[in-house]
Chains A and B, each alone.
Chain A
Amino acid sequence: MKRILALALTLALAPVFCAAGGPPAAKQAGIEAKDYKWNAQEGEKIEALKLKGNAKEGKEGYEVCGACHLPSGAGRTDGTFPQLAGQHTTVLIKQMADIRAGLRDNPTMYPFAKELTDAQELANVSAYIESLCIPIDHGRYEGPDSAKQIADGKAMYEKECIECHKPNGEGVKDKFYPVLAGQHYKYLLRQMTEIRDGKRRNANPDMVTIIKKYDNSQLVAISAYQASLVMPGSMCKAGAAKPAKKK
């Protein structure tokens, strides 16, 4: 009964928030819910996934994104904003849809995800981002023990992460597994920690099961290794951050 009341209240209040352009981002049951189904093939994401994105047209739409993620897609080395260049369109579309649907909590990104409602534009922008070469001057683990951290991380990565995220951090496009190569160390560490701790509510339960047993220091080592990965052919050349492949 309480739940129904809460739902009714939410529904009643929803238009008010919308009218006020309200900040409370949408909230949808995620991994904390019993009946959570990862990457349920439903909602607006399906439409964008089906469409063929036009990278050329997506360039214009990306301008807004570039204010935070930079025109190169590099994001920020301090991990505040993730590196996007070269990411799979599937991953980009799913994350945008999840943020918009309130399945992945990100108050800073939410207002932008909310604006980008046109499926074709979403497909275009994603295609543009995917076509960018991966910048090589991203944030890495910086410490006197980085060689050891990377070596330790490699051993763990090759045991359990490699199956899905692949030897060079390529991920798997049609399975929505993200590219990790070129990602900022601090962003990787934050995401892994949040996935382990149930804070990334759109996480893949299979990954949660695997990552649960790793402690903070192990995640540091794994992140350090991931941030050192290189995908041959997809990385930007030194001193240049231009689209690698035209589509």
Chain B
Amino acid sequence: MKTKLLLTATLLAFASGAAVADGAALYAEKTCIACHGKEGRKALTPTYPKLVGQNAAYLEQQMRDIKSGARANGSSAAMKGVMVNPEGDEIVTDKDIKELALYLSKLK
């Protein structure tokens, strides 16, 4: 029983570690890092938000809304361009959004 528990714990820890690595790779690949800085800690300009530790649900909602155009205020035009290209093709998928939100929310 103990072994099983330990194994499960190890697997879980491993899985969450992998998720962080994937999230970090995705965060760089999708160019979030260019404006929000490494791990969302330092934004390009003071009018851009820090993302580190932000609520996953909030991050996800904002990303979805900027992508769809429902949110078009502030600097969202700059961000929309990295989520959907001018031809309307998706660059950041909804699955990516979930993963990014989770990654950022877990950072401390």
Binding site for B on A (CB under 8 A): 20-23, 25, 64, 67-68, 78-81, 106-108, 110-112, 115, 186, 190
Query: Are A64 and B47 in touch, CB under 8 angstroms?
Result: no
Distance A135 CA – B89 CA, assembled complex (angstroms)? 24
Cα distance A80–B75 in the bound complex, in angstroms: 18
Q: Which residues of the other chain, B, contact A112 by a CB distance below 8 angstroms?
A: 34, 44
Among residues of B, the one whose C-beta sits closest to the C-beta of A24 is B77
Residue pair A20, B47 in contact (C-beta under 8 Å): yes
A108 adjacent to B87 (CB under 8 Å): no
On whether the beta carbons of A23 and B77 are closer than 8 Å, the reply is yes
Interface contact A110-B78, CB-CB below 8 Å: yes
Interface size on B, residues (CB 8 A): 24
Contact flag A23-B31 (CB < 8 Å), given A80-B85, A108-B82:
no
Question: Is the CB–CB distance between B86 and A23 below 8 Å?
Answer: no
Say yes or no: B80 contacts A115, CB within 8 Å: no
Are B80 and A80 within 8 A (Cβ)?
no
Instruction: State whether B80 touches A107 (Cβ < 8 A).
Output: yes
Please give me the 6 A-B residue pairs with the lowest Cβ-Cβ distance, nearest first.
Answer: A21-B47, A67-B34, A108-B81, A107-B77, A23-B75, A68-B31
B24 is an interface residue with CB less than 8 A from chain A: no
| CB < 8 Å neighbour of A115 from B44, B81, B82, B86 | B44
Query: Does any Cβ of A come within 8 Å of B56's Cβ?
Result: no
Complex contact A23–B76 (CB within 8 A):
yes
What is the CB-to-nearest-CB distance from B34 to chain A, in angstroms, rounded to a whole number? 3
Instruction: Give complex CA distance A107, B79 in Å.
Output: 8
Contact check, A21 vs B91: say whether CB atoms are below 8 A apart: no
A64 to B34 CA separation, bound complex (whole angstroms): 7
A68–B34 CB distance below 8 A: yes
Query: Whose C-beta in chain B lies nearest to the C-beta of A190?
Result: B86
Q: For B80, give the chain A residue with the smallest CB separation.
A: A107
Instruction: Pick the residue among A64, A67, A78 that contacts B91 (CB under 8 A).
Output: A78
When distances are taken between beta carbons in the complex, the residues of chain A under 8 Å from B73 are: 23
Map CB proximity to A onto B32-43 as digits: 1 under 8 Å, 0 otherwise: 011100000000
- Name the CB-closest residue of B to A79: B85
A111 near B78 (CB under 8 angstroms)? Answer: yes
Complex Cα–Cα for A14 and B77 (A): 18
Check A115 against B45 for contact (C-beta < 8 Å): yes
- B45 closest partner in A (C-beta): A21
Collect the chain B residues with CB atoms within 8 Å of residue A115's CB.
44-45
Chain B residue, CB-CB nearest to A67: B34
Given A25-B77, A78-B91, A190-B86, 11 more contacts at CB 8 Å?
Answer: A20-B47, A21-B45, A22-B47, A64-B44, A67-B33, A107-B81, A108-B79, A110-B78, A111-B45, A112-B34, A190-B87
CA distance A160 to B63 in the complex (A): 43
Instruction: Determine if B28 is an interface residue (Cβ-Cβ < 8 Å).
Output: yes
**A107–B33 alpha-carbon span in the complex (Å):** 17
